[in-house]
Structure 1
């Protein structure tokens, strides 16, 4: 039996302004995202990560390229992309790309990288 395929989509930590969150930085977030990816793999998932830039058109292109490369069983969209007002347009483009290219695929949303595995499991058991 094939492993369930997960596409994780999030904003690239390198473009985030961390000044509102003292003590957090791009390297720390990258490490947390990598830990989430490892947790998914250890739980038996085939994972593809797509970290998008802070440009809506470029983000849309990146997501469409990933979605065109494989069929995914679930798409997880990170909280940083969804909850930051400056990324609303990018979030809209991402959701619309998924809806267009992978109609019907379950979407799930984490609260942080540490809740990604739970979010994916929720999506696959609906």
Structure 2
């Protein structure tokens, strides 16, 4: 009976490890959108940011509220005047949002407020 209990415990342990490994393999990696922008109209930006952040949150993104923060050059060429960073649960979520109707509907406000220099998505490592 003792041998049976030990074998059962070993089987459960091995099964739990295998299930954990399978879940880890299927786990999506977080991603971050970096938008380098130039503010064209500060008052238009002040009106646009809350609306954009609400749309991002509705798509399960988390704006890190860096758009009005300082950008300091460490290495390389000159830094952008402003950088907005958004955290996403996955690369797929980020790309889907920026291709969505909700994002394209914000284009008139965004174009009045800012000029996008560059926008890209960076995926984290495992």
TM-score for both structures, normalised by structure 2:
0.32
Structure with greater proportional helix content: 1
State the TM-score, normalizing by the size of structure 1. 0.32
